[in-house]
Amino acid sequence: MTTGTETALRLSRVIRADRESVFRAWTEPAEMKKWFCPEGGTVDIAEADLTVGGRYKVAMRMPSGVHVATGVYREIVPPSRLVFTWRWEEGEGPKEGETLVTIDLHERGDATELVLTHEGFATADARDGHEQGWSSALEKLAARFQA
């Protein structure tokens, strides 16, 4: 088992939209349903109680089955930062325990740089699997704002 920064994941994307629009894509269920899963899947359920201590739930229908992620919002600073826990529900998806996701949004002219940090994975394999999923989902998010 590995620990520390070697099991943290950090991804960055430049999205052709203002920070407010990108923040809404992460926090409004109707927007989350449009992109919040890897390519080849759809979002069946997106729920968000956007308060510190509030819960969210995302049910992703993938070719391998339905995978449900849940968590609690730890920090909410519109439109620049969102921090939430991440856990796969019992009976769905991999069983890795609770991890932590931080989304930082930086103005870059007429675009937004999104930096996703996902940390607390038990193993490098768990981190690598999430890297594939997040990379694909972030590509879907960026494509939503293409002209």
- Please report, in tens digits, the pLDDT of each residue of the chain (147 residues total): 344 557 899 999 999 999 999 999 999 999 999 999 999 999 999 999 999 999 999 999 999 899 999 999 999 999 999 999 999 986 555 567 899 999 999 999 999 999 999 999 989 999 999 999 999 999 999 999 986
pTM listed for this prediction: 0.92
The domain in which residue 44 lies consists of: 4-144
Residue 2 tokens read as 């590995």
SS3 assignment, position 66:
strand
Domain count within the chain: 1
Q: Where residue 120 sits, what CATH number does that domain have?
A: 3.30.530.20
SS3 assignment, position 5:
helix
> Do 117 and 102 meet the contact criterion of CB atoms below 8 Å apart?
yes
Select from 136, 137, 99 the least CA-distant residue to 118: 99
Residue 36 tokens read as 């919040």
In DSSP terms, 24 is beta-bridged to: none
